[in-house]
Chain A
Amino acid sequence: MTDLLTTIITSPVAKKAGVPQPTPLRRYEPGAPVCEGPVLVTGTGPYAAQLREWAGQLGLGLAVAPVEGAGTADPTAGATSLNAPNEKVGAIVVDLSDATDPGDLAVLRTVAPSVKRLRPNGRVVVVGTDPAGLSDPAHVATQRALEGFVRSLGKELRAGATANHVLVRGEAWDGLRSAVEFFLSGRSAYVDGQVVRVNDAGGANSDILRPLEGKVALVTGAARGIGAEIAAVLARDGATIVAVDVPAAGESLARVANEIRGTALHLDVTSPDAGARMLEHTRSRYGRLDIVVHNAGITRDKLFVNMDESRWDSVLQVNLRSILRMNEAILRDDGLGEGGRMVCLASIAGIAGNRGQTNYGASKAGVIGLVTSTAAQVRDRGITVNAVAPGFIETDMTARIPFATREIGRRMNSLQQGGLPRDVAEAIAWLVQPGAAAVTGQVVRVCGQSLLGA
């Protein structure tokens, strides 16, 4: 029967040949525990006790760090002692936000035995203080050192485990809790080696299963791929969705909207009245607008020297100019309301650059600039503005990349696999929660700690 088969190759199983096989990532399931327990909360910082209490409330089970060759002195009732050599740990949270001297970093060393016992898809979260608000060189150096530690540890962890860093500024318990919950949960499956800053804004989710209940969210570029997934995930979390895409994508858009009982709005984000029409639509249909996700974007790749005007212009218009213009309408006083949330899709190409994408890279770096400056402008109104920068995400766009190139692309990160559109959507769904009020002006990369762009 070999004549039927054009190619027969005999290949060793990749695993046996030593090629690392990606671990299936643990992804968020509504109602499931935030992460696998037990959780080890340690460190000298002021939040450790609160974090421990919070983890206990979530029923995650607390762990106590193993003590070198000693009998177990168990300070926390009901906590799992890790002195048994095969005891696993689900997550490790280290609060070193009080560290002022490089010597204080030694605490990190004490969690090494626990890191060794981290479960697949385990989590390490290190809490620090935002060095931007500090001045003493030793203090700044110590806090900055944490970032290098986290990023390096992220590259050492295996089996879907991640390490991330939360920086607090001021009395930031609400924000810290929200960020730690995100990093422990499956929502951050493909977020690794990242730093997120939280400020002192207060906020909490009133409904754990449907944190976006009652909110109206508008998602551009929602007909396919990442946009469709954002719409679906925000709807799952309780939001009513206005799904926006160009008229030519209307057939897919209708299906996306109908499936989640939202509405489809056909418009080109580059049209001068796009922002006004979005507002008009959401206001007349739902009487409000709480969340805007600027996801629409295009690529028109060409080496810079061969780039024609239309490629250059169209990418900058769709990916950057349109957001600036829409925001003029959306951020007016009668637009996005108090407590509003905006997330823009940036890209790793806007951080690290990408060959053949001078136009795209420029537009996406521009988006990051837009996000940081706009966030500062609207902070007084309780509106947060953030960017999510996807790395290699498996979509029908990347499916068209030749197999070998694709395979390289998806392996060049600490998790050694491509992310899913859902991973991007989950990060966005976190940033738009009421509880994430303390996170603004940030760029969260959903890239599995890509080797590109550090």
Chain B
Amino acid sequence: MPQTSPRPPRRAAILGGNRIPFARAQGAYAKASNQDLLTATLDGLVARFGLAGERMGEVAAGAVLKHSRDFNLTRECVLGSRLDPHTPAYDVQQACGTGLEAAILVSNKIALGQIECGVAGGTDTASDAPIAVSEGLRETLLELNRAKSLPDRLKALTGLRPGDVLPAIPQNVEPRTGLSMGEHMALTTTEWGITRQEQDELAAASHQHLAAAYERGFFDDLVTPYLGLTRDDNLRADSTVEKLATLKTVFGKGDGATMTAGNSTPLTDGASAVLLASDEWATAHGLTPLAWLVDAETAAVDYVHGAEGLLMAPAYAVPRLLARNGLTLQDFDLYEIHEAFAATVLTVLKAWDDPTYCRERLGLDAPLGSIDRGRINVTGSSLATGHPFAATGGRIVATLAKLLHEQKQQDPERTVRGLISICAAGGQGVTAILEA
């Protein structure tokens, strides 16, 4: 019997990406569905890389807010796109980590030689969110469906209460605590003593960096307009700390409240996709790898009873990732830390620099230390672009890959390295290392 031997893993290259401009909810994409957004995004990617009619190894993508009819969302989008219909696809969902997790899945299959190329992505629309019937109505309807006779049906209907007919609109609330993500974050913000000033500074910088990146044409080959929108419409190029300081707080209680609509991400509609492949596939298609996805780590925290902040999981994932790769926190040229809230970024940075926290929570002998702030989110992040949950990962992966490629061209002899950290609902954090 011939025996198969495992192939040695190889690198998965990031060849580029595409996203549509992100739109504030109920705005430019108010009438578009997740399927519309992701299909448009895939078609933009197809055009940029000449993939019309090409069979990809797979497309992995997902949405956080999803209609039940979208159970096979990604495959439906592939079938509606200009990709070869023989391209398999599946849905991924890991809250705000969806896009990055999808990229990790695709890159792992490439690394193992199971596929040669693939697309990872995500989409979300807060405008076209699924509205569910109330639990009472749902149970009644299911009962009605099971009832065989007319009396049984009538009996089922008697269980219905007036309040049951009101629809349940999805909320950004943790099911186990009943707290919104912002309320969770406010607890952590207070615990770590993150000031309003710091948060507003970070928010203003995000807008300014994003605006500058647009101005220099950085997004020319990362974004394809959709429904007439050419730039993220949450972007306020003239954002300043002074202007942000005038906003009222929306999360937290009393005088200690620091979180505003300006230093929190708004509800947003959008989609993104990343093209990954083996080096061989890239060469055969005349495409230059921008960077390689070399490793990833996902962590989760027990936030339910307050032992840890909901969005602190990346703090745990990163040291594990560093240890496995023999790196320190300072060994990176660029950092992409998802700005769910300005305070999210600030707390995790503070935590990594805190000897007690690092020792007691992360089990480290010494703190990871501080990071050069000039290397974080250099082309802006979610506070400026907005945050269509599942689309954020793809936005960040493509952006960082291109940034690393730019740095590599400046200094071809050196390995340039970037770190991605994305916090997600459910107390999860997805992190990854990119190299060029």
Q: What is the interface of chain A, defined by CB distance below 8 A to chain B?
A: 243, 247-251, 253-255, 257-259, 261-268, 271, 284-287
Q: How far is the CB of B289 from chain A (nearest CB, A)?
A: 11
Segment 288-305 of B: residues with Cβ below 8 Å from A: 288
Docked pose: A247 CA to B223 CA in angstroms: 8
Docked pose: A249 CA to B220 CA in angstroms: 11
Q: Which of A247, A248, A255, A271 has the most CB of B within 10 A?
A: A247
- Some 16 contacts from A to B, beta carbons below 8 A apart, are A248-B230, A249-B225, A250-B223, A250-B225, A254-B47, A254-B224, A257-B50, A258-B46, A261-B52, A263-B49, A264-B44, A264-B48, A266-B224, A267-B217, A284-B286, A284-B287
Give the residue of A248, A249, A258, A287 whose beta carbon is less than 8 angstroms from that of B43. A258
Question: Which residues in B have their C-beta under 8 angstroms from that of A262?
Answer: 50
Do the beta carbons of B217 and A247 come within 8 Å of each other? yes
Question: Which residues in B have their C-beta under 8 angstroms from that of A254?
Answer: 43-44, 46-48, 224
Besides A263-B50, A265-B48, 13 new A-B residue pairs in contact (Cβ under 8 A), listed by A number: A243-B47, A248-B230, A250-B223, A254-B44, A257-B52, A261-B53, A262-B50, A263-B47, A267-B220, A271-B217, A284-B286, A285-B50, A285-B287
Q: How far is the CB of A355 from chain B (nearest CB, A)?
A: 32
Closest chain A residue, CB of each to CB of B216 = A271
Docked pose: A284 CA to B217 CA in angstroms: 21
State whether the Cβ of B82 lies closer than 8 Å to any Cβ in chain A. yes
Contacts A248-B225, A254-B43, A287-B286; A266 near B220 (Cβ below 8 A):
yes
Closest chain B residue, CB of each to CB of A280 = B288
Question: Which residues in A have their C-beta under 8 angstroms from that of B285?
Answer: 285
Q: What is the interface of chain B, defined by CB distance below 8 A to chain A?
A: 40, 43-44, 46-50, 52-53, 82, 217, 219-221, 223-227, 230, 285-288
Docked pose: A253 CA to B226 CA in angstroms: 11
Question: Which residues in B have their C-beta under 8 angstroms from that of A261?
Answer: 50, 52-53
Docked pose: A90 CA to B363 CA in angstroms: 91
Q: How far is the CB of A175 from chain B (nearest CB, A)?
A: 34
Question: Which residues in A have their C-beta under 8 angstroms from that of B50?
Answer: 257, 261-263, 285
Question: Which residues in A have their C-beta under 8 angstroms from that of B225?
Answer: 247-251
Give the residue of A250, A253, A286 whose beta carbon is less than 8 angstroms from that of B286. A286
Docked pose: A251 CA to B226 CA in angstroms: 6
Do the beta carbons of A247 and B47 come within 8 Å of each other? no
Question: Which residues in B have their C-beta under 8 angstroms from that of A286?
Answer: 286
Closest chain A residue, CB of each to CB of B224 = A250
Question: Which residues in B have their C-beta under 8 angstroms from that of A248?
Answer: 225, 230
Question: Which residues in A have their C-beta under 8 angstroms from that of B40?
Answer: 251
Do the beta carbons of A253 and B219 come within 8 Å of each other? no
Q: How far is the CB of A342 from chain B (nearest CB, A)?
A: 23
Do the beta carbons of A247 and B48 come within 8 Å of each other? no
Docked pose: A335 CA to B227 CA in angstroms: 36
Q: How far is the CB of A236 from chain B (nearest CB, A)?
A: 15
Do the beta carbons of B220 and A247 come within 8 Å of each other? yes
Contacts A271-B217, A284-B286; A255 near B53 (Cβ below 8 A):
no
Docked pose: A254 CA to B19 CA in angstroms: 12
Question: Which residues in A have their C-beta under 8 angstroms from that of B227?
Answer: 251
Closest chain B residue, CB of each to CB of A286 = B286
